[in-house]
Amino acid sequence: MSDGPALSGERALTDEHARIGELVGDRPAAWDVAGELPVDLLRTLGAGGVLCAEVPTAYGGRGADSRTNGELTAYVGSLCSSLRSIMTSQGIAASAIQRFGDRAQRKHYLTELTSGRLAAVGFSEPGAGSDLAAMRTRLRPDGDGFVLDGQKMWVTGARYADLLVVLALHGEDAAAVVVPADTPGVHIEPVADPLGCRAAGHSQIRFDQVRLPASRVLGGGGQSLSLLFTTALSYGRISVAWGCVGILRACLSAATTHARRREQSGKPLAEHQLVAGHLADLLVAERTSAHACEAASRSWDSASPDMVVAAVLAKHASAGHAARGAATAVQVLASAGSQDGHVVARAYRDAKLMEIIEGSNEICRLILSQHALDSL
């Protein structure tokens, strides 16, 4: 269990950034090329409570508010989107357990998640991507317990996970169930050569008559599918949005540094106005994304009714800014940023995936347009 102090205030955040920066060092490029994160680092960060920093201190977490956790997420995202993806998954798992688990489940599982055990979350299926209501994975009663059958796709971090939080149909309703990854009948197959976030351990999972005790079904099950999705996705969207702010900060830093140093036609690139325009675009992208994230975090912390829309807006805006911003940064560095493993090349591939996960661009626009129609 984490023995770190509660994470609040600028000073504590700066200290935590320094600690993480030291642990990560200059290794993210090598992790990206190898397609693998060091599990001992994930366990160290997990045991420090930083992979799910919003978990209350009573459960070994850092008791951070969403904004503080967001800044931490952005910092990790500026270093390595694969590592940030693990943080998002651990945070979604923790928020689902906190929201749907009973008192004993919260104590047991949240304490595990702040002790270095790692979690991944499965909702997507071969036939249920954008249309999560088409889910087929099912939990059915069997004696004192349950049996789980089905498939999940592209589960971030499943390759490293000790626990899988799986969304499944349950009678007429749905349930979130905590499945130890080594349970007989659980088959985990890593996704080969993903476009981006290459070290995030994405995996396909098959559940083949997996027998589970009733104590693993959060809150006994019987929740509405849409409530389960909305809860998991809202946390995930805010987390991914802050991760995109991190991508933009890394791109802005690399582009400004390069534009100051590199000279062409007798002066630094930064003094060529068309290049300077790219730097301005990157700054606008980073600042506007951060503001959208801050608004979403405030809504999350105050459990405001507009939280769902604020999370979608932050994720959609930040992912678009990150995808365009990373392309802009590659443009500024040109050949200097065009090699595998370079921070802007990595950002370019990682950022594109942010427009797909936690609700694709199209799904986000549908939700936002419906909100406009309903509220104006």
Ligand X SMILES: Cc1cc2nc3c(=O)[nH]c(=O)nc-3n(C[C@H](O)[C@H](O)[C@H](O)COP(=O)(O)OP(=O)(O)OC[C@H]3O[C@@H](n4cnc5c(N)ncnc54)[C@H](O)[C@@H]3O)c2cc1C
69 is an interface residue for ligand X by CB under 6 A: no
Q: In the complex with ligand X, which residue's Cβ is closer, 45 or 232? A: 232
CA 255 to chain centre: 25
Contact code string over 314-353 relative to ligand X, x by CB under 6 A: ---------------------------------------x
Contact code string over 129-148 relative to ligand X, x by CB under 6 A: xx------------------
Contact code string over 166-205 relative to ligand X, x by CB under 6 A: -------------------------------x----x---
Q: Give the residue, chosen from 8, 115, 288, 360, that forms a contact with ligand X under the rule CB under 6 A.
A: 360
CA distance 170 to 100: 14
Q: In the complex with ligand X, which residue's Cβ is closer, 13 or 351? A: 351
Name the β-bridge partners of 268: 263
Q: Give the residue, chosen from 356, 367, 368, 371, that forms a contact with ligand X under the rule CB under 6 A.
A: 356
Amino acid sitting at position 252:
L
Q: In the complex, what is the shortest distance from the CB of residue 79 to ligand X, in angstroms, rounded to a whole number?
A: 18
Q: In the complex, what is the shortest distance from the CB of residue 197 to ligand X, in angstroms, rounded to a whole number?
A: 5
121 is an interface residue for ligand X by CB under 6 A: yes
152 is an interface residue for ligand X by CB under 6 A: yes
| 46-49: Cβ within 8 A, 24+ apart | 46/90, 46/113, 46/114, 46/115, 46/116, 46/117, 46/118, 47/1, 47/2, 47/114, 47/115, 47/116, 48/2, 48/4, 48/19, 49/2, 49/4, 49/7, 49/114
CA distance 176 to 198: 27
Please give the size of the binding site for ligand X, defined by CB under 6 A. Answer: 21
CA distance 164 to 218: 12
CA distance 347 to 269: 21
CA distance 35 to 196: 10
Which residues bind to ligand X, rule: CB under 6 A? 89, 121-124, 129-130, 152-156, 197, 202, 353, 356-357, 360, 362-363, 366
